[in-house]
Amino acid sequence: MSAHNEETQKFIEAAPAVLEAGPDAVGQRLDQWLAAKLGPDMSRSRVQMLIKQGAVTVNGKPVDETKRKMTAGESVSVAMPEPEPAEPQGENIALDVLYEDDELIVINKPAGLVVHPGAGNWTGTLVNALIHHCGESLSGIGGVRRPGIVHRLDKETSGVMVVAKTDRAHKALSEAFADHGRTGDLERAYLALVWGIPQRPTGTVDAPLGRAADRVRRAVVPEGRDDARHAITHFTVVERFGEKQQEFATASLVECRLETGRTHQIRVHMAHIGHPVVGDPDYGQAFRTKVNRLPEPLKSEVKAFPRQALHARLLAFRHPATHLTMRFEAPIPRDMEALVVGFREL
């Protein structure tokens, strides 16, 4: 028996839940309809996983297409498996916990900590730390290597993150991040130390993102390209450095607020408008010589700075159980603050 058939057999042996599709189901996607029928504790991503794993049948026949359109009178059976432990192992890694309850945990992620296991980083991640800290309460929804993760920060970006500990929290928070706060209470603000001083104190970068030529990084791409994804970043200049002199390179402390949440969005957008994040190894290469136009000791400090100077300072969201809006802030980390202090002296 193949691995896929063995997996399917495991679900078939579980006690199934049988649901009948009424007239209101007509035209709905199978995953959307099931998520609504199975209640608030079952996220759509969990339903999609069950469908792909062979746990869902329609009129007695297995289906694996999440977008399949429903018709009235169909009988849908769902074999609910027993929860399985996440593959990553818990590791005793210190966490800066800003808040925690039975539904979720909010942490201040340090720079250098990878969020979830992947190629080259199978241990020592935030997920490993969370499994150790939360134990069995950590939600397994979202994939075995991403338990509870509803959003992420780059390895070298610090700041506020929220992680779900229940299916209900995972569903609510995932939907909020997918919506990017357009119809809810989600709010995200980042501080970025960037090269140069934008001409306007506030602005918006509305430029679609796709894969760069190297297929690893991201880039601003034509709107009609197949991989183009809508991306909008709003920025406000918080502080200007060196604007009254011409001898040294200038810089700015900028607050960025996301209207969409694409990979590397702030880093790519700020570089696109000519103000890349200081220390960015991927999108600030064209500005590397700027550091030579700084006085000592700032020049040495910038050269030695090991990451992009980007920090997620604010995260606000509606609590999935109490429905109260919660707001969390993380102070700028010491290494980034030291750079800001240095630039203030220009």
Q: Compute CA distances 148 → 121, 137, 289, 327, whole Å.
A: 18, 10, 41, 19
206 has catalytic annotation: no
Question: What is the Cα–Cα distance from 59 to 75, expressed in whole angstroms?
Answer: 5
Q: Phi and psi for 194 in degrees, rounded to 5?
A: -120, 155
Q: Is 228:222 a contact under the CB 8 Å cutoff?
A: yes
Question: What is the Cα–Cα distance from 250 to 298, expressed in whole angstroms?
Answer: 12
Q: Is 282:264 a contact under the CB 8 Å cutoff?
A: yes
- Helices 167-179 and 44-52 pack at an angle, to 10 degrees, of 100
Q: Compute CA distances 180 → 15, 47, 143, 157, 238, whole Å.
A: 37, 22, 21, 19, 23
Of the residues 101, 102, 154, 167, only one is catalytic, namely 154
Question: What is the Cα–Cα distance from 139 to 182, expressed in whole angstroms?
Answer: 26
The strand ranges marked E within 55-148 are: 56-58, 61-62, 75-79, 97-100, 104-109
Q: Which residues are catalytic?
A: 154
